[in-house]
């Protein structure tokens, strides 16, 4: 009598082979589809648009101190500037030095009743900041306010390339006709020290400000602005 091997193991083997081929085929198709759609690509975190830095050199023109607008000091900035100017704060019971400083330099104040916690707005003199001297330089440069120290790297200016290029202006002695380049004005402001491909001024020898420094100034300006206690002013007349 002739006997044959049981068909069961054979069927199991063929079934496993079929399933293996099917799974391989499905996985292959899925990977191909992901590759085509781009969803299978590894995630790459992109840096800011100024990843390679920005070209800027302060020209010392003093025009940023002549823009129509307000400069608000946080409480600690007021104290620092007073000390720098030599106002005597050793006698806390004598507030005459405070009144003298405020009368000379301050034109508006936001207070909760405690002057040591007040935000103050600087006066202007002949269309410029009260601290701009006769030579067109900042007389408190070493202790200048955050608002001044962080310009032109305010969040509103470095939010994208278009805003950065818009802030760039030509020096008054550079004449270009038939271009979209603009010049500084008290109403619109602008910075001659910003160099862009559209600035129309040579970029050779201009400092390249690193991304890290830009980020630090941007964050400092944003933090300063957010601390200011009056939303109405921040939304209408004071932007950083």
**Is there a domain that residue 5 lies in?**
no
Residue 152 preceded by cis peptide, ω within 30: yes
Position 92 scores a pLDDT of 55
In a domain, 169, yes or no: yes
Q: Is 86 contained in some domain?
A: yes
| Ranges of H-type helices in the chain | 7-37, 75-84, 96-105, 146-149, 161-167, 211-227, 231-236
Residue 204 scores a pLDDT above 90? no
Tens digit of each residue's pLDDT (9 = 90 or more) over 78-137: 999 999 999 866 655 567 888 899 999 999 999 988 888 999 999 999 999 999 999 999
* pLDDT for 93: 53
Task: Find, among 58, 73, 59, 192, the residue nearest to 129 by Cα.
Answer: 73
Stated pTM of the model: 0.77
State the DSSP code for 43: P
Within-domain flag for 24: no
Give per-residue pLDDT as tens, 206-236.
899 999 999 999 999 999 999 999 999 999 9
**Domain range for residue 68?**
54-235
> What is the average per-residue pLDDT within 16-28?
48
The position carrying tokens 């941007």 is 218
CA separation for the pair 122, 103 (Å, rounded): 11
- Helix, strand or coil, per DSSP, at residue 230: coil
Q: Which pair of tokens denotes residue 139?
A: 């007389």
Does residue 155 have a pLDDT over 70? yes
- For the chain, what is the domain count? 1
Residue 3 has pLDDT above 50, yes or no: no
Question: Does residue 25 lie in a domain region?
Answer: no
pLDDT given for residue 22 in this prediction = 46
Per-residue model confidence (pLDDT) at position 192? 95
- Residue 123 in domain: yes
Range with the lowest mean pLDDT among 1-5, 158-162, 222-226? 1-5
Section 143-151 average pLDDT: 98
pLDDT bin (cut points 50, 70, 90) of residue 11 is very low
Domain-embedded: residue 4:
no
Taking the C-alpha atoms of residue 149 and residue 100, their distance in angstroms, rounded to an integer, is 25
Instruction: Give dist(CA 202, CA 157) in Å, integer.
Output: 21
Are 230 and 237 a contacting pair, CB within 8 Å? no
Whether 220 is covered by a domain: the verdict is yes
């Amino acid at each position: 009598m002739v006997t044959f091997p049981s068909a069961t193991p054979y069927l199991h083997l063929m079934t496993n082979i079929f399933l293996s081929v099917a799974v391989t085929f499905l996985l292959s198709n899925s990977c191909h589809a992901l590759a085509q759609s781009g969803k299978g690509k590894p995630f790459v975190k992109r840096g800011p648009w100024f990843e390679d830095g920005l070209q800027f050199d302060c020209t010392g023109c003093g025009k940023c101190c002549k823009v129509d607008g307000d400069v608000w000091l946080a409480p600690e900035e007021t104290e620092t500037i007073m000390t720098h100017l030599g106002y005597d704060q050793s006698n806390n019971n004598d507030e005459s030095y405070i009144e003298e400083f405020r009368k000379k330099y301050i034109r508006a104040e936001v207070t909760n009743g405690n002057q040591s916690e007040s935000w103050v707005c600087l006066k202007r003199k002949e269309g410029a900041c009260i601290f701009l001297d006769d030579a067109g330089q900042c007389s408190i440069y070493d202790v200048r306010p955050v608002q001044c120290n962080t310009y032109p790297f305010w969040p509103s200016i470095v939010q994208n390339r278009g805003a950065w290029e818009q802030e760039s202006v030509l020096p008054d002695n550079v004449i270009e006709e038939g271009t979209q380049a603009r010049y500084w004005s008290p109403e619109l402001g602008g910075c001659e020290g910003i160099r862009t491909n559209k600035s129309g001024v040579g970029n050779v020898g201009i400092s390249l400000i690193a991304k890290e420094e830009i980020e630090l100034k941007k964050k400092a300006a944003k933090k300063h602005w957010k601390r200011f206690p009056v939303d109405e002013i921040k939304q209408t007349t004071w932007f950083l």
